[in-house]
Amino acid sequence: MTLHGNSGKVNGRRIGAVVGGQLSRGLQVRVDRAGGTSIEDLAVGSFVTIQGRKQRFFGVITDVELRVADDSLRHFPPSGSADFTNDDFIAEVVGGTTAYGLLSVMPAMAAPDDATSPESASPESATTIPEHFAPVFTASQADIDAVFKAAGDGAMSLGEPQGMDGASVRLDLSALPARSVGVFGASGSGKTFLARMLLAGMVKQGEVVSLVFDMQNEYGWQGQDNDRGRQVKGLKQLFPSRVVTFTLDEASSRRRGITPDGAVRIGYREIQPADIELLRESLNLTPVAAAAAYNLERHFGSGNWLAEFVAKSGPEITELAESIGVNASALGALHRRLAAWERFEFLDPAAHGNAAADIVQHLQRGNHVVLEFGQYGRNEAAYVLVSNLLTRRIHDEWVRRKELADGGQGDDPRPLVIFIEEAHKFLTPEVASQTIFGTIARELRKYNVTLMIVDQRPSGIDSEVMSQLGTRLTCRLNDDRDLSAALMGARDAGQLREVLARLGSKQQALVFGHAVPMPLVVRPRDYDESFYQEMSLGTTGAPAGTPAVAETAEERMQREIDELFPPE
């Protein structure tokens, strides 16, 4: 290192030199072959450092290309010509000289690199680019640590950066829930494991509480690893004292040999016409039929309308249609759909309470709540209905407490992360403005509530909601529209697209946005014994079962009672 060699930093292996480019479209880096570097070693998504004259840059390879300085090589490649007996030698000489590899590198971060100060300042977003011929190096663990400064209890090792065996990138778990999070990926790409890992990290870190709408029963007690045909530990097994499981389907829980901490019962009284409108697509209702619920509410009074309506039958419905001025066949269709809800055991015509009350109580105490859907996870209407209804109630409570706190009465409510799957079913552009999730996404963290959305079809999610997602972790997506949607609103979306399109079908994720200083491709760590160990370290260090969050004596007593006698 003589050209720009005034740095005390230890650089990785030199892979090339900057030969052109611009900040908005990325740098062009000519690959040196002298150091034994082959373009085949340089995968898109890899993290590299660039030693400029005054700054040290951190970038990501976004594309790789083959170039020839001499066009005749394109027409008469060495091995294809019979004129020379030494084609192999010729190919070896021109490979890496007149025929060479070119990388596109997105300069993401930069830190002043001043020889006079032993400690360089921390990296910031790159606002310029390195000079011509600045050498480019593979990144080292020290470089990763300089950029991803996350350390200590607030950070979790997310996995191995692309192309860096044995290195590890840490994610700042306090920054993650500060904005809504999206985890995307085609089915089988590993997004569930990634999401479960993030949830576990948040539970361990303890600053936030989460409410998980567990559609496929993957997060509570245990999850399924289909590739290896084994069971993996859910949140409850990892954090028995901090995670509370509820179920909608006690029979399913019993069949699976799981004892949930409580069951959710929803009274007919709690269902509002707006819920029916959200379910219009899942229930396959016409707009007229869905809107009829409002007429019914006016007719029977709020609270009673659903019970009264489903109790009607046959000719009574036609009469009712006339008296409330709704098309009879539309009302009939609505009746058929709602009457079928009698099969939903979690719906209780007589219940008067607030289904969310228990959940709210646990959340306020600092417990994380997983709501398993049992067999109802396969019923889209049930999932959309329950998750919306509960979230609305809980959000109302958080808004109330936040406003009280703002008025000087009481503390801010605990930051809450609401976790939903299959979001494209109820955050479609048509209904996103009406659902509580759309509201939460838009109001950011105003009321200390954020979302964690896990989905395989980001293109089905309202673009306004997508653009509010602070941090995105994206596994392989196959559909072009999903690729574009997953990057929607992201800085450098154009440059990242190729990286995203090339992710491996498994075990790779592109992480970008609020919680990470720069985009990076990561091979998520294994969800295995060593992960379990790491998750349990903090809790074994403290007295058994003591949450990391501060709790009052009263809270502590209540928690201990709850642990001894799980609330129904």
Beta strands in 428-517 (DSSP E): 449-455, 469-474, 509-513
Q: What is the nearest approach in angstroms of another protein to the Cβ of residue 73? A: 6
β-strands 180-184, 469-474: how paired?
parallel
Which of these ranges, 17-25, 85-93, 167-175, 266-274, lies near another protein under the rule CB under 8 A? 85-93
Note whether 83 binds another protein by CB under 8 A. Answer: yes
Q: Given the rule CB under 8 A, which of 83-91, 110-118, 415-423, 528-536 is the region that contacts another protein? A: 83-91
> Cβ closer to another protein: 30 or 365?
30
Out of 71, 165, 529, 554, the residue judged to bind another protein by CB under 8 A = 71
Q: Is the Cβ–Cβ distance between 310 and 276 less than 8 Å?
A: no
Least distance from C-beta 94 to another protein, angstroms?
Answer: 6
Between residues 73 and 399, which has the closer beta carbon with respect to another protein?
Answer: 73
The backbone torsions φ and ψ at residue 187, rounded to the nearest 5 degrees and listed phi first, read: -65, 140
- Closest approach of another protein to the CB of residue 20, in Å: 16
Report CA-CA distances (Å) from 473 to 45, 495, 519: 13, 16, 10
- Dihedral, 402, 386, 268, 288 alpha carbons, nearest 10: 100
Residue with tokens 């590299």: 48
Span 246-275, contacts to another protein by CB under 8 A: none
| Total residues in contact with another protein, by rule CB under 8 A | 18
Burial class (CB in 10 A: 0-12, 13-18, 19+), 489: middle
Q: Which stretch binds another protein (CB under 8 A): 88-96, 127-135, 384-392, 418-426?
A: 88-96
Q: Rounded to the nearest whole angstrom, what is the least distance from the CB of residue 92 to another protein in the complex?
A: 6
For another protein, the closer CB: 85 or 540: 85
Contact 34, 7 (CB under 8 A): no
Q: Does 89 bind another protein (CB under 8 A)?
A: yes
Minimum distance from residue 164 beta carbon to another protein (Å): 29
Q: Which of 12, 96, 303, 504 binds another protein (CB under 8 A)?
A: 96
Kindly state the tokens that stand for 512.
């970008």
Annotate 44-72 with b (16+ C-beta within 10 A) or e (fewer). Answer: bbbbbbbbbeebbbbbbbbbbeeeeeeee
Integer Cα distance of 182 and 368 in angstroms: 19
Say how far apart CA 114 and CA 438 lie, in whole Å: 47
**Single residue of 9, 14, 63, 73 touching another protein by CB under 8 A:** 73
Residue of 19, 43, 90, 307 interacting with another protein (CB under 8 A): 90
User: Is 528 an interacting residue with respect to another protein (CB under 8 A)?
Assistant: no
**Among 85, 313, 409, 540, which residue interacts with another protein (rule: CB under 8 A)?**
85
Distance (Å, rounded) from C-alpha 568 to C-alpha 455?
31
Among 3, 23, 69, 142, binds another protein (CB under 8 A): 69
Q: How far apart are CA 19 and CA 134, in angstroms?
A: 8
86 is a contact residue toward another protein (CB under 8 A): yes
98 near another protein (CB under 8 A):
yes
Which of 23, 53, 92, 533 forms a contact with another protein (CB under 8 A)?
92
Query: Applying CB under 8 A, does 38 fall inside the site for another protein?
Result: no
Whole-number minimum distance, CB 6 to another protein, in Å? Answer: 26
Q: How far is the CB of 131 from another protein (least distance, A)?
A: 21
Q: Which of the stretches 70-78, 208-216, 263-271, 465-473 binds another protein when contact is defined by CB under 8 A?
A: 70-78
Q: For residues 552 and 364, give the distance between their C-alpha atoms in angstroms, rounded to a whole number.
A: 12
* Strand, helix or coil for residue 411: coil
- Find the binder of another protein among 78, 206, 366, 377 (CB under 8 A): 78
Please state, in angstroms and rounded to a whole number, the distance separating the CA atoms of residues 309 and 327: 15
Q: Among residues 6, 25, 84, 560, which is the contact residue for another protein, using CB under 8 A?
A: 84
CA–CA separation, 313 and 310 (whole Å): 8
Cβ distance 106 to 118 under 8 Å?
A: no
Q: What does the alpha-carbon distance between residue 502 and residue 416 come to, in Å, rounded to a whole number?
A: 34
Q: Which is nearer to another protein, 89 or 301 (CB)?
A: 89
Binding positions for another protein, rule: CB under 8 A? 69-73, 78, 83-86, 89-90, 92-94, 96-98
